[in-house]
Chains A and B, each alone.
Chain A
Amino acid sequence: MRSIAEINDKIQRQQAIVWTVEEVKARVQEMGVTQVAKQVDVITTGTFEPMESSGAILNIGHTDPPIKIRQCWLDGVPAYSGFGAVDLYLGATQMADYPIADGTDGEGSRERGGGHVIADLIAGKPVQLRAIGQVTDCYSRASFETTITRDTINQFYLFNPRNLYQNFIVGVNGGDRSLYTYLGPLQPHLGNAVYSNPGAISPLLNDPDLQLIGIGTRIFLGGGIGYVAWEGTQHFPLQKRLPNRTPIGPAATLALIGDAKQMNSRWVRGCYFRSYGSSLMLGVGVPLPVLSEEVVVHCAVRDQDLVAPIVDFSIPRRVRPTFGLVSYAQLKSGRITIDGKIVRVAPLASIYLSRQIAAELKDWIETGRFTLTEPVAQIPMDRSFLAQDRWGTQISLE
């Protein structure tokens, strides 16, 4: 039909036809798959959701005399330093060890974690650095304190081990006390439900078998350019799938990488879940080249064709009981029925911002600022999901 090289040629001449995935879904209803596939070159998808398995690599530059950092805090949040002398890795869920002395109240600093520090650096704000070194003949300094910004450090890039979940769960609480979870507060007796995937506009639900997305795929990451680096942690492509190939629960994941210096604080936000901890809300956009009609068939999937399992968080086990599957059309209506009871359901992914990312990426491609890449390797689709059991397997996944 068309190759990535041909599409890139059109992008460079600013003649590529680019539609957001929602435009594609609507036009497939009007004119059918074949006509859409003939017209459109690139389909853009996007999501904006908390992605806690994210982190930033920083190289702060050498001091004089030099230091081999062994312990380090950024605004009181510990960063891992077990690499080269001044290389740091700051994780999004890392909580502050101590409050920073800038007059913010104690409560404020308890709610601050690595995600907030990463977001502040991207926003151009100064961050306090405190480091303790191991004195050696190469590195004679024992400690160092300074203030850094994104412009005073060498490398600053996000390297996120698990982003872009292909589908997720719906959390509820069937117990009798409130629970504070990574999906926010879950009220007792099925008081509310929370889902965290934007459904039919979500990138990986529109390429269910990862035929287009692979290692090296260029993406929109936090408002800058990023790449798919590897399969994500807990990548589980063997999840059960519907006939339309979309998974019925958490499945494929991707590790992403991208230059944080180019990112925009609009698309990277620190966040905090009460009594759970900090995280990072991140915007990711993925372009899908229309190489065949099959691409459009997959992108035509609608919220009523996608499902997620309703999981009861009141049972604190790895395999929690479920109340069955619910469609994203039902979830987006704001109400679902569980055991005959009507339960209000709220999203955690921002559908509003997810759409804006798909539109922004469309604009980048239409104006010739973003070209597509051919994956250098496919993401493995045969990974099983191993568990770490203390007492041996008691409940199997299936």
Chain B
Amino acid sequence: MKKRVTLIFPKRAVHMPVTYRLAKDFNVAANIIRAQVTPNQIGTLVVELSGDIDQLDAALEWMQSQDIGISIASREIMIDEEACVHCGLCTGVCPTEALSLDPQTFRLNFTRSRCVVCEQCIPTCPVQAISTNL
């Protein structure tokens, strides 16, 4: 199964090779969606973890024991269907093409699984139809 989580690293855990440990000890693949890691500062990592359900739980438990903060509710992009005018301006700045226009209808499509929550679309939208849920 897959689980998208936000990991908050305390300063002393920033040096830990977490994705290596997840793969080696728990057989969990960590796909990094977003990361903000600087030496000697609190780091944030948004990852999509995939692996066996028991091993995923064990991996999360282990990370908690290492004082890594885990948030299951990750920030997501929300689109207000009432406000959206389907102009498509957001599709030009979306780096993963999670936002795209249907080639036939020219309606805006949002493929949530492709979104890396970079939030570039939010200030780009001229009618303020895009926001995050957090």
A residues contacting B by CB (< 8 A) are 48-50, 111, 184-185, 187, 192-194, 269-274, 279, 281, 333-334, 344-353, 355
Chain A-chain B contacts (Cβ-Cβ < 8 Å), number: 75
Q: Assess the A347–B124 pair: CB atoms within 8 A.
A: no
What's the least CB distance linking B90 to chain A, in Å?
Answer: 7
Q: Is the CB of B127 within 8 A of A346?
A: no
A344 to B91, CA, bound (A): 9
Min distance, Cβ A50 to any Cβ of chain B, angstroms: 7
Q: What total of chain B residues lie within 8 Å of the partner, measured CB to CB?
A: 21
Say if the beta carbon of B87 comes within 8 Å of chain A. Answer: yes
Chain A residues with Cβ below 8 Å from B128 are 111, 272
Residues in A whose Cβ lies below 8 Å from that of B126: 50, 184, 271-273, 279, 281, 348
Ordered by A's residue number, 27 sampled pairs between the chains whose C-beta atoms are within 8 Å are: A49-B87, A111-B128, A184-B126, A187-B93, A192-B93, A269-B127, A271-B126, A271-B127, A273-B126, A274-B123, A279-B126, A281-B85, A281-B87, A334-B91, A334-B101, A334-B103, A346-B89, A346-B90, A347-B88, A347-B89, A348-B87, A348-B88, A350-B85, A350-B88, A351-B86, A351-B88, A352-B107
Most buried by A among B101, B103, B107: B101
**Contact of A346 with B91 in the complex, beta carbons under 8 Å:** yes
Chain B residues 14-53 with CB under 8 Å of chain A are none
A344 CA to B90 CA, complexed, in Å: 11
Q: Are B92 and A48 in contact, with the CB atoms below 8 A? A: no
Task: Tell yes or no: B106 within 8 A of A by CB.
Answer: yes
Q: Is the CB of A184 within 8 A of B85?
A: no
Residues of A within 8 A of B85 (CB): 48, 269, 281, 350, 353
Nearest residue (CB) in B for A198 is: B106
| Complex Cα gap A353–B127 (Å) | 14
- Cα A194 to Cα B87 in complex, Å, equals 11
Contact at B124–A185, with CB atoms within 8 Å?
A: yes
In the bound complex, residues from chain B placing their C-beta under 8 Å from that of A185 are 93, 123-124
Is B113 in contact with chain A by the CB < 8 A criterion? no
B124 touches A184 (CB 8 A): yes
B residues in contact (CB < 8 Å) with A: 85-93, 100-101, 103, 105-108, 123-124, 126-128
A344 to B108, CA, bound (A): 16
- The distance in angstroms between the C-alpha atoms of A350 and B105, with both chains bound, is 11
- Alpha-carbon gap, A111 to B100, bound state (A): 25
Query: Which residues of the partner chain B approach A345 to less than 8 Å between Cβ atoms?
Result: 92
Instruction: Please give the distance in Å from A196's CB to the nearest CB on chain B.
Output: 9
Residue contact B87 to A350, C-beta cutoff 8 Å: yes
Q: How far is the CB of B100 from chain A (nearest CB, A)?
A: 8
Is the beta-carbon distance between B101 and A347 smaller than 8 angstroms? yes
Q: Which 6 A-B residue pairings sit nearest by Cβ, starting from the closest?
A: A346-B92, A271-B126, A351-B106, A352-B86, A192-B92, A352-B106
Residue of B nearest to A283 (CB): B85
Whether A346 contacts B86 by the Cβ 8 Å rule is: no
Q: From A281, which residue of chain B is reached at the shortest CB distance?
A: B85
Chain B residues closer than 8 Å to A274, beta-carbon distance = 123-124
Residue of B with least CB distance to A193: B92
Min CB–CB distance A117 → chain B (angstroms): 15
Chain A residues with CB under 8 Å of B103's CB are: 333-334
Inter-chain contacts of B86 with A (CB < 8 A): 350-353
Once the chains are docked, how many angstroms separate the CA of A281 from the CA of B83?
12
- What's the minimum C-beta distance from B71 to chain A, rounded to whole angstroms? 25
Bound complex: CA A50 to CA B87 (Å): 10
Closest A residue to B90 by beta carbon equals A346
